[in-house]
Chain A
Amino acid sequence: MVATAVQTVPAPHTPEPRWRPLENEGWLALVLLLPTLVLLGLFIAYPFVRGILLSVSSSRVGVPGEWVGFANFTRLLSDPIFYMVVRNTVWYTFITTIFKLALGLWLALLLNRNFRFKAFTRAFILLPFIIPTVLSTFAWKWMFDPTFSVLNWFIMKMCQWKVSFFGLFGIEPATSCVVQAQFNWLGDADLAMWAIIIVNIWRGVPFFAISLLAGLQTISPDLAEAAAIDGAKPLQRFWYITWPLLLPVTMVVVLFSVIQTFADFQIVYVMTGGGPANATHLFATYAYQMGVGTGLLSQGAAISLAMFPILFGIVIVQLLYIRRVETR
């Protein structure tokens, strides 16, 4: 037993703490965040405000311009090209996202198996995503070249193989293969759209595949095996086990992809420059043509700002959906 000795206790002394503002969480946080806040304030928040001001004035390059209210936006509403731009962008975003998701998921499922050179394959698959888009898009443009197109050559070869196959049974084709394979990829409005869609899919599939692969790897194989023991077929296993568990990752990946695709610039700029006859313009390329090409700063700013409410809507809807999926 420890005896409680009666002691004369000296008065407690309260030391004056040394002045150390960085031991205070609030001040330290402020200091650590300061460079970020300054840079983002100067080059995001300020340009955003500036963009709004520009869009309600009549500035051109070198001409300050004056307040014109919503004139730039109302002009857009009566601009047939702008309607085409909206339609193109929505279609482009929609169709590429569907394909990127489907192909990316398929590729992720393939990569999720064990095989030799797996790490190697994965590293190579990411190349389209790593290599500067403008540069790789030039390779595609060269492949789509109407006169020297390797794709058309390829299509012709396929056609010839088909013909010689049917020829064995005495069936003759109506037109020659050379004629059939004459696609003027970038000169035809519909084909040009498909061409840029293909390039976007090509560039985006690796991102989807690798992100989804990471998601797949967090799903315990025990689950699929348990389901297999319960008698589920591979497709059922995918649909009832893998897909629901993968959904949160998928949603985030789709969110990022949709935003990037919606605001895409590089592929269209290199492939078609918006042509033929504005048939492949997206928001960004049209804004560039107006704001930089023609020098109508305000008009250009209005076009790119017109993206904002749509993007904002997409983000809100997706974030809400992601939250719902995650809290389920």
Chain B
Amino acid sequence: MIEGAIWRKWVYFYLPLALFLLFLLFPFYWMVITTFRPDNELYIAWRRPNYAPFWTWNPTLDHIKFLFRETAFLTWLWNTMFIALCSTVISLFCGVLAGYALSRLNFPFAGSLGTMIFVTYLVPQTLLFIPLSDIIRNYRLGDTPWSLILTYPTFLIPFCTWLMMGFFKSIPKELEECARIDGASRLKAMFYIILPVAVPGILSAGIFAFTLSWNEFIYALVFLSSPEQKTVPVGVVSELIRGDVFFWGALMAGALLGSIPVAIAYSFFVEHYVSGLTGSVKG
């Protein structure tokens, strides 16, 4: 790279980068600080002269205790985890097989099926939630985890399929041809050779699908009604706001704790997540 004077580097590089980081990360800082601030510090109008919003000398666990005692937060956490894991596994299973078929096999309508998958990939959840809620009700799945475990794959499968297609295409065809000559059937060649080689791709798709289902909101909001069935986002919205009273401390504690599992999963697989993200927008 062609470098200029030091001050240029500060003005054109460090300063903007720092501002970006401030903008992108400040809400999380705010979440954390609010979680640990006592109520009497929280509700001070910003006009008061000695308003010091960025720190507290009296950290408290009250909000977190409130969350665990007064709400079904742990149940929500468990529900979210269970639903996210199940739908991720289902979607990976379907997506890997479909991706393999679409990228590796020659069969009639392969092209149009691929296009169809791509189109469903682009369908946003908010397009179909009303008829889906009707169908869920008819299947008597309403207010059960299965209403989400079965519907989340509708947006996860196209994504996994798409990602896996791209990944499978990068594996040389000779690998499975050689396995088939070595005496493996097509299925065995797939299971013993191609899938093990595709593990990084499967991990990418998996971690991405997991974060997507953890993040999903509208289906969970519409399909679930009883407090002990809810996922974290829905639970936080519906149980920590009474009318127009917001329990801000507990809300932020819920937001923080509800984010931690997904943040942990993300931190373990950052590279896979990033390659999933960039793979998902590749043609």
- A and B touch in their complex, CB below 8 angstroms: yes
Interfacial chain B residues near A284, Cβ < 8 Å? 124, 126, 218
Interfacial chain B residues near A308, Cβ < 8 Å? 127
Among B228-244, those with CB < 8 Å from A are 232-233, 236-237
Among B87-114, those with CB < 8 Å from A are 90, 93-95, 97-98, 100-102, 105-108, 110, 113
| Interface membership of chain A positions 169-208, coded 1 if the CB is closer than 8 angstroms to chain B and 0 otherwise | 0000000001000000000000000000000001001110
Known: A28-B187, A36-B98. A131 touches B122 (CB 8 A): no
Please give the number of chain A residues whose Cβ is less than 8 angstroms from any Cβ of chain B in the complex.
102
Among B183-219, those with CB < 8 Å from A are 185-187, 211, 214-215, 217-218
Query: Are A40 and B154 neighbours in the complex by a CB distance under 8 Å?
Result: yes
Q: How distant is B66 from chain A, measured CB to nearest CB, in Å?
A: 16
- Nearest B residue to A254 via CB reads B281
Assembled-state Cα–Cα distance A164/B5 (Å)? 32
Q: How distant is B80 from chain A, measured CB to nearest CB, in Å?
A: 9
Contact of B101 among A32, A106, A142, A297 (CB under 8 A): A32
Among A31-58, those with CB < 8 Å from B are 32-33, 35-36, 39-40, 42-44, 46-48, 50-51, 54
Q: Is B45 an interface position by the 8 A CB rule?
A: yes
Query: Are A263 and B126 neighbours in the complex by a CB distance under 8 Å?
Result: yes
Query: Are B126 and A265 neighbours in the complex by a CB distance under 8 Å?
Result: yes
- Nearest A residue to B100 via CB reads A32
Known: A40-B154, A51-B130, A134-B217. A252 touches B23 (CB 8 A): no
Query: Are B263 and A148 neighbours in the complex by a CB distance under 8 Å?
Result: no
Contact of B151 among A43, A221, A270, A315 (CB under 8 A): A43
Tell which of B14-22, B55-63, B67-75, B171-179 binds the partner: B14-22
Q: How distant is B34 from chain A, measured CB to nearest CB, in Å?
A: 6
Q: Is A5 an interface position by the 8 A CB rule?
A: no
Interfacial chain A residues near B78, Cβ < 8 Å? none
Q: Is B11 an interface position by the 8 A CB rule?
A: no
Please give the number of chain B residues whose Cβ is less than 8 angstroms from any Cβ of chain A in the complex.
97
- Nearest B residue to A132 via CB reads B215
Please name 19 further chain A to chain B contacts, defined as beta carbons within 8 Å, in addition to the given A149-B46, A153-B51, A265-B218, sorted by A numbering.
Answer: A25-B105, A25-B186, A29-B102, A50-B131, A106-B16, A128-B24, A130-B211, A131-B262, A135-B236, A136-B28, A139-B30, A147-B46, A206-B24, A256-B122, A256-B281, A288-B218, A291-B130, A307-B124, A315-B119
Chain A to chain B: the 5 pairs with minimum beta-carbon distance, closest first:
A263-B124, A284-B126, A214-B278, A51-B131, A135-B255
Q: Which residues of B contact A (CB under 8 A)?
A: 1-2, 13, 16-17, 20-21, 23-25, 27-28, 30-31, 34, 42-47, 51, 53, 90, 93-95, 97-98, 100-102, 105-108, 110, 113, 117, 119-120, 122-135, 150-151, 153-154, 157-158, 161, 185-187, 211, 214-215, 217-218, 221-222, 232-233, 236-237, 246, 248, 251-252, 254-255, 258-259, 262-263, 266-267, 270, 273-274, 277-278, 280-283
The 27 sampled A-B contact pairs (Cβ below 8 Å) are A22-B186, A25-B107, A26-B107, A28-B186, A29-B102, A36-B94, A51-B130, A110-B17, A119-B270, A124-B21, A126-B266, A126-B273, A126-B274, A130-B262, A135-B255, A139-B27, A139-B30, A221-B1, A228-B2, A252-B281, A255-B122, A269-B237, A283-B126, A287-B130, A292-B133, A304-B126, A311-B127
